[in-house]
């Protein structure tokens, strides 16, 4: 029996802000953003979008294609949770109109938790192969204005259907793990923007990659030369270049492995979306599926990282025929339909983001589900 990713679909915030605009107002060379960190744009959420509306938009094509039969678990991975108690998975369950016979839960560990959700899902399907698990990764990445992290904001969601005999990717059983209790990036309960020690976080990411790779090898994982591509967590796409260089140095010190760019075709979406935290690594995978060559039967590596910090390296094999199952232009169309916002509007929206008490939101999103506001401390959602 093989288990893995049977379907994948993504969504992003409905607004776009360019890093050229940010650089111009900061009076710096845009090369720092375009080449130095590898980002051209960031997706922002409109007033009536949040992690649930993006998740609903990402999940809709999967439910349209497969229905909800067999989905008895929904796991929602996020680090931008909307309630301290109620899982966003339960709200999403309601918004999607799923049947009551479902367990719905939210998981957290910075950008890493969608990978944990996938590992939990593999276990559920292994025990009962008739069941399918809907895994959601959805986040809004926000840093303070004028901080070093500001250029690495973004928003996006990925929905994944984990099932037996998957149509896209068979996930292999070996996994390499690394956990260290550090403070490289965190968000206390009273803040909607993250705190970060930027340069230190880059170092910890690379140390976690090395630790997870070494453990992956110790667990009997595949050789470096057998990987056609590696999808990395991409807080900014230049980070994946640094990761690729570090991995090549430790896994292939003599440079004898196949001479290929293992990052190729994995950065197209994240360059334009920005950091989407839990969704970022799976947007890298979707980019490869949509924009890369047919790699049927080839092995893909995944390095998932979440600050705090946890890293995991795992692998999968692309199922022959997978190219016929992807929705090649779907995310591209959504990216093209984002409404551009200029610098002043961007700053205004950033400051106005934290609203308290009861309020109604403006009707802005192009998605089928909108966040309508808060009434008696309860978040309200509407389906168009
Ligand atoms: P910074 O300190 O402002 O930038 O912020 P810098 O001075 O280090 O410059 C960045 C790069 O641009 C450098 O290249 C410069 O040389 C280059 P590098 O040395 O890195 O190769 N540069 C230029 N290149 C071309 N033309 C120019 C030019 N000028 C400079 N004119 C930093 C960088 C990443 C620290 C900042 O953006 C930040 O704090 N970001 C947030 C933290 C982050 O993303 N960390 C990544 C690892 S942790 C992680 O991935 C977890 C996370 O996703 C959260 C989670 O897990 O939940 C963040």
Once rounded to an integer, what is the mean pLDDT over residues 213-228? 97
Q: Which helix (H) or strand (E) holds 360?
A: strand 359-360
Query: What percentage of the chain reaches a pLDDT higher than 70?
Result: 100
Q: What is the pLDDT of residue 18?
A: 98
Q: What is the pLDDT of residue 170?
A: 98
Does residue 142 carry a pLDDT above 90? yes
- The pLDDT tens digits of the residues spanning 180-213 come to 999 999 999 999 999 999 999 999 999 999 999 9
3-state helix, strand, coil in the chain (%, to 5): 35, 30, 35
Catalytic residue, chosen from 6, 93, 233, 350, is 233
| Residues near 79 by beta carbon (within 8 Å), at least 6 away in sequence | 108, 109, 110, 111, 113, 139, 187, 277, 278, 306
Does residue 384 carry a pLDDT above 90? no
Does residue 232 carry a pLDDT above 90? yes
Does residue 297 carry a pLDDT above 90? yes
Averaged confidence pLDDT in the chain: 97
Q: Out of 101-110, 230-239, 257-266, pick the least confident.
A: 257-266
How far, in Å, CA of 307 to CA of 139, rounded? 14
Q: What is the pLDDT of residue 259?
A: 79
> Catalytic annotation on 233?
yes
- pLDDT bin (cut points 50, 70, 90) of residue 82 is very high
**How open is the CA angle 226-229-230, to the nearest 5 degrees?**
105
In 228-321, which residue ranges form alpha helices assigned H by DSSP?
237-251, 268-273, 280-291
Q: What is the pLDDT of residue 255?
A: 86
Once rounded to an integer, what is the mean pLDDT over residues 14-40? 98
- Output the residue whose Cα is nearest ligand 1's atom 41: 149
Q: Answer whether 0.95 is exceeded by the pTM.
A: yes
Does residue 256 carry a pLDDT above 90? no
C-alpha separations of 246 from 1, 240, 263, 301 in Å: 34, 10, 13, 14
Once rounded to an integer, what is the mean pLDDT over residues 61-73? 98
> Catalytic annotation on 174?
no
Which residue ranges make up each domain of the chain?
A: 3-383
Does residue 22 carry a pLDDT above 90? yes
Q: What is the pLDDT of residue 257?
A: 83
Once rounded to an integer, what is the mean pLDDT over residues 314-322? 98
Q: What is the pLDDT of residue 258?
A: 80
Q: What is the pLDDT of residue 331?
A: 98
Q: What is the pLDDT of residue 260?
A: 85
> Catalytic annotation on 348?
no
Catalytic residue, chosen from 111, 268, 312, 350, is 111
Q: Which of 102, 140, 94, 137 is nearest to 381 (CA)?
A: 94
How far, in Å, CA of 18 to CA of 13, rounded? 14
Q: What is the pLDDT of residue 159?
A: 99
Beta bridge partners of 373: 360, 380
C-alpha separations of 293 from 224, 318, 323, 331 in Å: 20, 12, 9, 18
Q: Which of 103, 115, 303 is nearest to 207 (CA)?
A: 303
How far, in Å, CA of 58 to CA of 137, rounded? 9
How far, in Å, CA of 167 to CA of 192, rounded? 38
Q: Which of 176, 167, 173 is nearest to 289 (CA)?
A: 167
Q: Which of 226, 294, 301, 208 is nearest to 263 (CA)?
A: 301
Does residue 240 carry a pLDDT above 90? yes
How far, in Å, CA of 362 to CA of 298, rounded? 46
Does residue 342 carry a pLDDT above 90? yes
Q: Which of 22, 23, 37 to mutate to test the pocket of ligand 1 (most atoms within 8 A of CB)?
A: 37
Q: What topology does CATH give the domain 3-383?
A: Peroxisomal Thiolase; Chain A, domain 1 (3.40.47)
| Residues near 123 by beta carbon (within 8 Å), at least 6 away in sequence | none
Does residue 102 carry a pLDDT above 90? yes
- The pLDDT tens digits of the residues spanning 345-355 come to 999 999 999 89
**Ligand 1 atom nearest residue 236's Cα:** 44
How far, in Å, CA of 178 to CA of 189, rounded? 25
| Ligand 1 site residues, Cβ closer than 6 angstroms | 29, 31-32, 35-37, 79, 110-111, 148-149, 151-152, 184-185, 196, 198-199, 201-202, 205, 233, 235-236, 239, 275, 277, 305-307
Give SS3 for 82.
coil
Does residue 4 carry a pLDDT above 90? yes
- pLDDT bin (cut points 50, 70, 90) of residue 167 is very high
Q: Which of 185, 200, 273 to mutate to test the pocket of ligand 1 (most atoms within 8 A of CB)?
A: 185
């Amino acid at each position: 029996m093989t288990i893995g990713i049977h379907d994948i679909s993504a969504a992003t915030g409905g607004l776009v802000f360019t890093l050229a605009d940010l650089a111009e107002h900061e009076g710096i060379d845009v090369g720092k953003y375009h080449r130095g960190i590898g980002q051209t744009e960031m997706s922002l959420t409109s007033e009536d979008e949040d992690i649930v509306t993006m998740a609903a938009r990402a999940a809709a094509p999967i439910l349209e294609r497969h229905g909800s039969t067999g989905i008895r678990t929904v796991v929602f991975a996020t680090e931008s949770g909307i309630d301290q108690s109620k899982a966003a998975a339960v709200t999403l369950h309601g918004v999607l109109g799923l049947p009551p016979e479902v367990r719905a839960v939210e998981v957290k560990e910075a950008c890493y938790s969608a990978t944990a959700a996938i590992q939990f899902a593999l276990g559920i399907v292994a025990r009962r192969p008739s069941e399918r698990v809907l895994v959601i990764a959805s986040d809004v990445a926000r840093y303070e204005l004028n901080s070093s992290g500001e250029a690495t904001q973004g928003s996006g969601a990925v929905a994944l259907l984990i099932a037996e005999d998957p149509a896209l990717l068979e996930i292999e059983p070996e996994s390499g793990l690394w956990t260290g209790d550090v403070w490289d990036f965190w968000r206390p309960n009273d803040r909607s923007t993250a705190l970060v020690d930027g340069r230190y976080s880059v170092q910890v990411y690379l140390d976690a990659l090395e630790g997870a790779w070494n453990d992956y090898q110790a667990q009997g994982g595949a050789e470096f030369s057998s990987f056609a591509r590696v999808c990395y967590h991409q807080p900014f796409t230049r980070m994946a270049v640094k990761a690729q260089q570090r991995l090549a140095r430790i896994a292939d010190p003599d440079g004898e492995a196949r001479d290929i760019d293992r990052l190729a075709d994995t950065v197209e979406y994240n360059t334009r979306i920005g950091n989407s935290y839990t969704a970022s690594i799976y947007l890298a995978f979707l980019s490869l599926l949509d924009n890369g060559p047919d790699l049927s039967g080839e092995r893909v590596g995944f390095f998932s990282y979440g600050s705090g910090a946890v890293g995991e390296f795992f692998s999968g094999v692309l199922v022959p025929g997978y190219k016929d199952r992807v929705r090649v232009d779907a995310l591209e169309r959504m990216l093209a339909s984002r409404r551009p916002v200029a610098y002043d509007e961007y700053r205004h929206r950033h400051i106005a983001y934290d609203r308290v008490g009861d309020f109604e939101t403006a009707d802005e999103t192009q998605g089928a589900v909108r966040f309508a506001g808060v009434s008696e401390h309860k978040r309200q959602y509407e389906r168009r």
